[in-house]
Structure 1
Amino acid sequence: MTNLTVSFKESSTKKQKPNADKIAFGKHFTDHMFVMDYEEGKGWYDPRIVPYEPITLDPAAMIFHYGQTVFEGLKAYRTPDDRILLFRPEKNFQRLNLSSDRLSIPEMDEDVALRCLHQLLEVEKEWVPKAEGNSLYIRPFIVATEPNLSLAPSRTYQFMMILSPVGSYYKEGIQPVRIHVEDEYTRAVRGGTGKAKTAGNYAAAYKAQERATKEGYSQVLWLDGVEKKYIEEVGSMNVFFKVKGEVITPELNGSILEGITRMSIIELLKDWGVPVLERKISLEELYEAYDQGELEEAFGTGTAAVISPVGELNWGDRNIVINNGEIGELSKRLYDTLTGIQTGKIEDPYDWTVEVK
């Protein structure tokens, strides 16, 4: 597919773009989408940009019955001088292949996928928002399409990319969020699918999230699935804690998603000379640090929210209020630096951004 040609069918009707101050996350979609098919023995073929529209699948398509699907999430940003930037997009397609491998989905040429994304963005470049804090969310995903109820990997797939202009992921914006510690339900265990971006991981988290939302919390903090002792991640984010000047984040153990924002934050901290450790950290250890006045900051990281300061953790009958519920100095510096690089407002010394031309 190195010499692929992407066909283009233009939409006959164009949508009205949402007002910048009324963009809800994941509710609006652009005029076009990308589609490519896979067939065993033939490989990936027929890349095309078509009008955004419903897709038709056989009722026996294996995605409906066995959940064989993976997805990614990244963003396109408009710079002050009107360029469009992507942030480390090659990492997203590398991770898509890692997720595909775990779900027995055939891998894709990452360079081809990235070139197809560039072509889709060229068509939809007017959809990249100009307003401060807004961006164009990109959702690549693969679904199993073979109509077959046999319990085996599908022999056909579709790879799609859809685009959605978005504002802030949390209604609180960059303000600290309140998080509930989940000690009943389990999201993932080592050897399972926790490190893959696959639909079932997120559906399995809904029950706990519903309960947390009802009690006024923005997200759930998951513990390890075996001992219910060690911190793993927040529902949509990796998580970091600053204790006595040192930043600690749970080590990647096979059940935690390898976040691209997480990776970038660790690289930034090391470059700044801030001590950062990837290791196990238990809730008891965290609470002890809080009790002794040593827990200075906490924040989550992810593509959707970028940096989300944590102002409060609820753990049973114990409440951990962090930094008086205010944004920490390090969290703010990380947020300003990362979003500044992503939007082209500050220099990118790491070559993380890729311009769409």
Structure 2
Amino acid sequence: MNLDLKPNFLLLNTLDIENLRKLDRIHPYPAKFTIDLALEYIDKYTNKNSIILDPFCGSGITLLASKVYNRKAVGFDINFIAILISQFKLLDLNKEELDYLKNFNPKFNLVKPYYYKSINHWFKPECIEALSSIREQIKIYSKNNKKYILFLNLIFSSIINISSNQDSDTRYASIEKPFLNTKYIFNKFNEKLYNAINIYKNINIKSTKNFKVFLHNSKKLTQKIEKDSVSLILTSPPYPNTYDYYLYHKHRMCWLDYDFKFSMENEIGSRREYSSLKLPKEKFNNDLLEIFIQSNYILKNGGFIVLIIGDGKIAGKIYNAKEELLPICKSLRWKLIDYSFSELDKTSR
């Protein structure tokens, strides 16, 4: 699949596209499709009256692209951090609000260190103190304003893993990081904060539509969306046995008082299921079928579905996404109208 599309949109210029890409990069999230791709499909398959659904909204790319086109959109995910990132990208902030956020300049104050089980394995004592201090100051400075809480918590979340002993966002192992100290953590927070504010100042995309983002299992879509109401489903289901979203975001969820067990128990396609618990590929196919049946119910007759998915490996055998998904889709009377693919290089995992 060509991920370097250059949309020829009348309402966007090169600067707009680049700022949207920068907005997408403020908080790390793996295995994303690009804003360019989302804009391309929304432009192709919707009109001003369309409702767009992403049942695996992840980092909110579909929702952000829908906002650009002033379309109604709904997103679902079972990961608290995905919801946080998605809601952040949909914020409308005026100059006064951005100036207020810019004036947030946390200083180190000794507060009661935050604690949860295993925190001392994953964080140095001075890092716990620094993060605890920022966490408490966010609560005070936000003044119970939902926008400020969301914005500052997103920045806070974005520095959690780099402030920990966790190797990376794609490797859950504890390693020694000699550079970690109080000064580093505060500098990183302020750097991310000012960068995010400057990006928001350069984005002039407003929307009159309301967007809904649900922390909700997509196997129960019909609890939240009306029948025959959606024109386009644009989504990227998990790549099977490739990644544990709950695990790599676990410390972010813990620091923000989210229940990571909810995300763990509702996640599909995870390495936990297929490498640890040794479940068969049929479990993943059945999970997708459940969600697609729900999707079928809320999709308009003649609506479109765009699925962006990667192959995986289960029980030592390649999971060919196209070959596995086509029979599922055909059983729902979905007609394949187009597809494309790209191959990763040989060194990629």
| Fold agreement, TM-score > 0.5 | no
Q: Which has the higher contact order (CA 8 A, sep 6+)?
A: 2
* More helix by percentage: 2
Interval containing the TM-score (normalised by the shorter chain): under 0.3
